[in-house]
């Protein structure tokens, strides 16, 4: 195996600063202490193709490689149509469809997105675990990021934790929203200790949402929504709080005769690629059920 050449299992870094040791150098590449210790213990960190001690002083021009071994995914494979937006060594970007559960649970072992990805990995000979980076509710559609190795997962998680990811949604809400755009800066917490429902509360977590109106209808509005924090149910809670709940959201509003879920779609994500650090953008078109709801509102 050529440890100087990047591949599905090998990430390489060229040293341009000779004042750092091996561990310090990888810290500058945002490798977490936990992942460093795991790779080091498994002897999967190399300098110029050889395993070396972590305190080794690096020289300018050295090539540092980390090896991520093949893995076994234990989720039951199930043939399924999955909408792939983008794929490379590190990432699998999906456009999640409506009413699809992402993870298997005790009561829901089949027909999850994980089952479909497991089948796809096996079909393509991808020997990696499934690592979801971001979350979408079962009834929310749009862009989901799957990391195909622990390095990519750790790098992407860091971006989400640091609010470095640009996240935009489209939502169809009740009523004609008056302001062209506005920010909602209100903390969100659990309504009751064991409830899944969230609410605006002084002792909640900070949450910042921006919305702008794309179109207004007689009894609804299509909004472009950007979130700067990643609180659970953030958009649903914030829009409900200003008197414009998402149509079809049965938890915060009521059922709709024209869509069988909340009309919320994650259409845009901008991230830094975990390996190259270059900006990349992903766009998922509005799903058919939300297009149908818009047509109904336009003709009402």
Do residues 83 and 95 touch, judged by C-beta distance below 8 A? yes
Q: Inform me whether the pLDDT recorded for 2 exceeds 80.
A: no
Q: What is the CATH number of domain 84-161?
A: 3.30.2350.10
Tell me the C-alpha distance between 65 and 80, whole Å: 36
- pTM: predicted TM-score of the whole model, two decimal places: 0.91
CA distance 248 to 257: 8
121-168 confidence digits (pLDDT tens): 999 999 999 999 998 888 999 999 999 999 999 999 999 999 899 999
Which residues are bridge partners to 266 per DSSP?
A: 142, 169
Extended beta strands in 166-207, E state: 166-174, 181-185, 188-190, 198-200
Q: Rounded mean pLDDT of 8-13?
A: 92
CATH number of 10-67: 3.10.290.10
Domain 166-298 superfamily per CATH: Pseudouridine synthase (3.30.2350.10)
List pLDDT tens digits, range 66-124: 999 999 999 999 999 999 999 999 999 999 999 888 888 777 778 899 999 999 999 99
Instruction: Give just the sign of the alpha carbon dihedral 244, 249, 250, 251.
Output: negative
Positions marked active-site: 137
What distance in Å separates the CA atoms of residue 158 and residue 154, rounded to the nearest whole number?
Answer: 6
- Domains 10-67 and 166-298 agree in fold: no
Domain boundaries, the chain: 10-67, 84-161, 166-298
Higher pLDDT, 281 or 192: 281
């Amino acid at each position: 195996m050529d440890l100087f050449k990047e591949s599905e299992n090998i990430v390489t870094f060229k040293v341009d600063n000779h004042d750092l040791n091996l561990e310090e150098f990888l810290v500058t590449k945002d490798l977490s202490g936990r992942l460093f210790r795991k790779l080091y213990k498994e002897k999967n960190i190399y300098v110029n193709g050889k395993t070396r001690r972590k305190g080794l002083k690096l020289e300018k021009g050295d090539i540092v490689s980390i090896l991520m071994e093949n893995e076994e995914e234990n989720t039951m494979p199930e043939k399924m149509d999955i909408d792939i937006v983008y794929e490379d060594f590190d990432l699998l970007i999906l456009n999640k469809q409506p009413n699809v559960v992402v993870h298997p649970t005790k009561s829901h072992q089949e027909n999850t997105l994980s089952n479909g990805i497991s089948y796809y990995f096996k079909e393509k000979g991808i020997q990696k675990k499934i690592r979801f980076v971001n979350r979408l509710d079962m009834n929310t559609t749009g862009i989901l990021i799957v990391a195909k190795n622990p390095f990519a997962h750790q790098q992407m998680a860091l971006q989400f934790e640091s609010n470095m990811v640009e996240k935009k949604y489209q939502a169809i809400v009740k009523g004609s929203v008056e302001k062209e755009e506005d920010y909602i800066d209100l903390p969100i917490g659990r309504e009751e200790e064991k409830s899944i429902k969230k609410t605006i509360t002084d002792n909640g977590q900070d949450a910042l949402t921006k919305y702008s109106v794309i179109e207004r209808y007689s009894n609804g509005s299509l909004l472009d929504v950007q979130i700067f924090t990643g609180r659970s149910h953030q958009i649903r809670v914030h829009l409900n709080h200003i008197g414009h709940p998402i149509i079809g959201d049965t938890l915060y509003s009521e059922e709709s005769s024209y869509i069988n879920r909340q009309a919320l779609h994650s259409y845009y994500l901008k991230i830094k690629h975990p390996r190259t650090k270059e900006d990349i953008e992903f766009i998922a078109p509005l799903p058919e059920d939300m297009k149908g709801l818009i047509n109904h509102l336009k003709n009402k």
